[in-house]
Amino acid sequence: MLRVVVCVSGGGTNLQAIIDGIAQGAIFNTEIVRVVCNNPGAGALERAGKAGIESVCVSPKDYGNREQFEEALIRSVEEAKPDLIVLAGFMVKVPAALIRKYENRIINIHPSLIPAFCGTGYYGLRVHEAALSRGVKITGATVHFVDEGMDTGPIIMQKAVEVHEDDTPETLQRRVMENAEWVILPWCINLIASGQVKVENGKVTVAE
């Protein structure tokens, strides 16, 4: 059984896609053992509660400085003894110490086709605003392993989504979530749970 900790900050629709994927059998042999959140008001916490999943909130406001917050965050993840850590709309830079310990065992969902519209400052609606302002015809989502950079780790899977001429950042975000994020994130977890994902020289291969 793959033990998964999901880190969230917002509405939790990607968390919900994982919960539903496990419930429907689309994600093999996997259990979400804990949800870790940095935002006490996050809708994701409600989703975790409804699914009977233990959640822990580690808010920077509760700690005297960044180092103490990061120590508490690392502890809250490690206590759950995860095999895989999933960043699902998580708006906190993962401490380097955790990334080093969980090399190629932390994945993130980013709402663009990396290397487009990613890196520092590209998150949430800003990604889709940038895509619309550049006038791209195709965008999408990417699941990648997390390294010490920002959205720079080995890419596991991507899914493209058409941009419509009348799109607003909100309508585009919704289509990318529905047609790409909520599809490839559960799929990648399933592939990892099935032992099909390998990383060699910074490149991902998926065994049939």
Rounded least distance, CB 177 to ligand GRF, Å: 6
Rounded least distance, CB 122 to ligand GRF, Å: 10
Q: Which is nearer to ligand GRF, 19 or 193 (CB)?
A: 19
Rounded least distance, CB 123 to ligand GRF, Å: 6
Please give the C-alpha separations between residue 143 and each of 6, 42, 51, 60, 70, in angstroms, as whole numbers: 14, 22, 24, 26, 24
User: For ligand GRF, which residue has the nearest CB?
Assistant: 89
The kind and range of the H/E element at 141 are strand 138-145
| Beta-ladder partners of 119 | none
Q: Which is nearer to ligand GRF, 172 or 193 (CB)?
A: 172
Residues of this chain that interact with ligand GRF (CB under 6 A) are: 8, 10-15, 44, 88-89, 109, 111, 124, 173, 177, 181
What is the distance, to the nearest Å, from the Cα of residue 154 to the centroid of all Cα atoms in its chain?
Answer: 14
Q: Which is nearer to ligand GRF, 13 or 55 (CB)?
A: 13
Question: What whole-number distance in Å separates Cα of residue 98 and Cα of residue 100?
Answer: 5
Q: Which is nearer to ligand GRF, 82 or 111 (CB)?
A: 111
**Close Cβ partners of 119 (under 8 Å, ≥ 6 residues apart):** 150, 151, 152
CA angle 58, 69, 153 (to 5 degrees): 90
Rounded least distance, CB 65 to ligand GRF, Å: 26
Instruction: Say whether 128 is catalytic.
Output: no
What is the DSSP code string of 55-112?
A: EEE--GGGSSSHHHHHHHHHHHHHTT--SEEEESS--SPPPHHHHHHTTT-EEEEESS
Rounded least distance, CB 191 to ligand GRF, Å: 19
Q: Which is nearer to ligand GRF, 11 or 60 (CB)?
A: 11
Question: Sign of the CA dihedral 182, 187, 193, 198?
Answer: negative
Give the residue numbers annotated as catalytic, written as ranges.
110
